[in-house]
Amino acid sequence: MKKYFMNDPENGVSVYSTLKDATDALNEVIHDGRFDEGWPLERDMENYFVGEITHIATQVDYMERPPQEELDEEDCDKNGVHWTHEFDSTCNYKVLPIGEKSV
């Protein structure tokens, strides 16, 4: 998993495997901007940054669709979850530290 990122307001966020790669990429963006377009305004420089990804959206509360005979006439299970025919499973997502398993 790529664990580092850099933010360039012109092009958004890009992710990298190493801190060095992220830092080098941002330095290149700043260098290219300096010679091609002129320096961004000093007040805008805080929007150019490198960071480490510590948390990611992680699948939690995964449930498989119960057999049809366990659903009521409105296709709800015993917990009141409505199951449409398009889905064989459902889940939620929660932001968790990288590597932490869903509960």
Is the residue at 101 inside a domain? no
Specify the number of domains making up the chain. 2
Domain extent for 37: 4-52
Q: Which residues of 43-65 are buried (b: 16+ CB within 10 A; e: fewer)?
A: eeeeebebeeeeeeebeeeeeeb
Both 36 and 70 in a single domain? no
Both 23 and 46 in a single domain? yes
Give this prediction's pTM: 0.68
Calpha distance 79→23 (Å, rounded): 49
Is the residue at 87 inside a domain? yes
Could you read off the pLDDT of 26-61 as tens digits, one per residue? 999 888 766 556 665 666 788 899 999 999 999 999
